[in-house]
Amino acid sequence: DAGITQSPRYKITETGRQVTLMCHQTWSHSYMFWYRQDLGHGLRLIYYSAAADITDKGEVPDGYVVSRSKTENFPLTLESATRSQTSVYFCASSAGLYNEGQFFGPGTRLTVL
Amino acid sequence: SQQGEEDPQALSIQEGENATMNCSYKTSINNLQWYRQNSGRGLVHLILIRSNEREKHSGRLRVTLDTSKKSSSLLITASRAADTASYFCATDSNDYKLSFGAGTTVTVRA
């Protein structure tokens, strides 16, 4: 199916565990982004990528790791999950410098116990 | 930190009425975008207005931008129940990272 998908959609994990959230897009967009959404904070950028093998930190990168070996995939890893990382995570992609806006995935709701 | 701030935080209107929400930002921008988020879903891009534009229309949406006041407004005309959602403004400064506000929650009553 065309578009941007995220998996899993829901995840419950425990403090200290490693968790990887997956993001896949079929448009061959150059740019991909990870955001977290928390009440009262709107969306905050965690990491972004301008192309395969090019990633950079956003506003709240601590505790997260990303990689982008292929253009279509942009996984986000929480190396040692903490309760403060309980959130809804959104992946997004765009073809260029926001000429058409960003396309968002459906989100992953992560709960860290 | 958030660049954009929406006002009001919440808005409740009757079907058929117009809904207006505002966005203020702090630093100069290249463009400003508006997104909609239905409950439990991802954001959907609605409209983009560039810094050299003052007004833009898309269907029932009208966006204005006043760079001297660092503010934008989104008007939804003839609202429908399907317009019930949260609306976010997002600003793009000198790089391709977007900064989102906390959003305005719009409820359209039948």
A60-79 pLDDT, tens digit per residue, is 999 999 999 999 999 999 99
Choose between B45 and B95: higher pLDDT. B45
Q: Tell me what pLDDT residue A99 has.
A: 58
Among A12, A10, A17, A74, smallest CA distance to A46 is for A74
Cross-chain Cβ contact A41/B102 below 8 Å: yes
Q: Tell me what pLDDT residue B93 has.
A: 72
What is the arithmetic mean of pLDDT over B50-79?
96
Cross-chain Cβ contact B44/A40 below 8 Å: no
What is the arithmetic mean of pLDDT over A80-93?
97
What is the arithmetic mean of pLDDT over A80-100?
88
Q: Tell me what pLDDT residue B5 has.
A: 84
Query: Residue A83 gets which letter from DSSP?
Result: G
Tokens of B73: 């407004």
Averaged pLDDT score across all residues of chain B? 92
Tokens 């660049």 map to which residue?
A: B3
Cβ proximity of A21 and A33 under 8 Å: no
Q: Tell me what pLDDT residue A98 has.
A: 54
Residues 33-92 of A with CB under 8 A from B: 33, 35, 40-45, 48, 50, 58-59, 90, 92
Interface check A2 vs B, CB under 8 A: no
Q: Tell me what pLDDT residue A66 has.
A: 97
What is the arithmetic mean of pLDDT over A47-54?
92
Q: Tell me what pLDDT residue A97 has.
A: 62
Q: Which chain B positions have a beta carbon within 8 Å of A104's beta carbon?
A: 35, 42-44
Cβ proximity of A74 and A46 under 8 Å: no
What is the arithmetic mean of pLDDT over A29-52?
91
Give the count of beta carbons closer than 10 Å to the beta carbon of residue A96: 10
Q: Tell me what pLDDT residue A39 has.
A: 83
What is the arithmetic mean of pLDDT over A55-59?
92
Tokens of B69: 């006041």
| Best of A23, A102, A103, A109 to mutate (most B CBs within 10 Å, chain B) | A102
Q: Tell me what pLDDT residue A1 has.
A: 59
User: What is the pLDDT confidence band of residue B9, given thresholds at 50, 70 and 90?
Assistant: very high
Query: Residue A63 gets which letter from DSSP?
Result: T
